[in-house]
């Protein structure tokens, strides 16, 4: 049942998106494709994709027990704290701590979780900041 509800919600969202795309004003200089083409494509793909869960739903899901719900709430709290502390703590430190805590909760040893957190944080920093030149939140150490 939840698959069908999700499919219907996506279908309604696709309809809203397509109607909104039709209100994009055209400029006096038009290209062969026009500014509405990309939003129409996105809306059409979303509408077509929404039909699958409506007509071919999965079996009813097995919901987690109370322990699983607590784990989900803890992971959400870690992500909220990450977003809240990111401007002051900086990308590298906050990402390392959040990735380490989440890795630990997924079942790794504390040492492996800390190693994974540092590796993930430094790896993302190198790719996004040093290679691609994107701006990331600076921490107390200036990076």
Contact status, residue 78 vs residue 101, Cβ threshold 8 Å:
yes
Q: How far is CA 74 from CA 17, 24, 81, 90, in A?
A: 34, 42, 10, 22
Identify the pLDDT of residue 9. 96
pLDDT value of position 68: 93
pLDDT in tens, 53-93: 999 988 887 888 999 999 999 999 999 999 999 999 999 99
Domains of the chain, by residue range, sit at 2-55, 66-131
Joined tokens for residue 4: 């069908």
pLDDT at site 87? 92
Cα gap 95→120, rounded to integer Å: 8
Contact 79, 127 (CB under 8 A): no
Mean pLDDT, consecutive 10-residue stretches, the chain (143 aa), reads 91 94 78 80 95 90 90 97 94 96 96 97 94 88 74
- Burial state string for 111-132 with b = 16 or more CB within 10 A and e = fewer than 16: eebbebbbebbeebbeeebeee
Question: What is the structure's pLDDT at 37?
Answer: 85
C-beta of residue 49 within 8 angstroms of C-beta of residue 7: no
Which pLDDT does position 140 carry in this prediction? 82
């Amino acid at each position: 049942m939840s698959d069908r509800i999700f499919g219907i919600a996506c279908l309604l969202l696709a309809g809203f998106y397509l109607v909104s795309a039709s209100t994009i004003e055209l400029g006096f200089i038009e290209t062969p494709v026009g500014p509405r083409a990309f939003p129409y494509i996105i809306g059409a793909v979303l509408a077509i994709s929404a039909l699958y869960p409506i007509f071919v739903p999965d079996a009813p899901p097995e919901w987690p027990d109370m322990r699983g719900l607590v784990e989900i709430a803890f992971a959400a709290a870690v992500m909220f704290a990450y977003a809240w502390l990111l401007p002051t703590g900086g990308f590298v430190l906050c990402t390392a701590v959040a990735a380490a805590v989440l890795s630990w909760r997924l079942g790794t040893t504390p040492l492996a979780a800390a190693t994974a957190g540092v590796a993930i944080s430094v790896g993302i920093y190198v790719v996004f900041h040093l290679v691609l030149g994107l701006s990331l939140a600076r921490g107390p150490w200036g990076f």
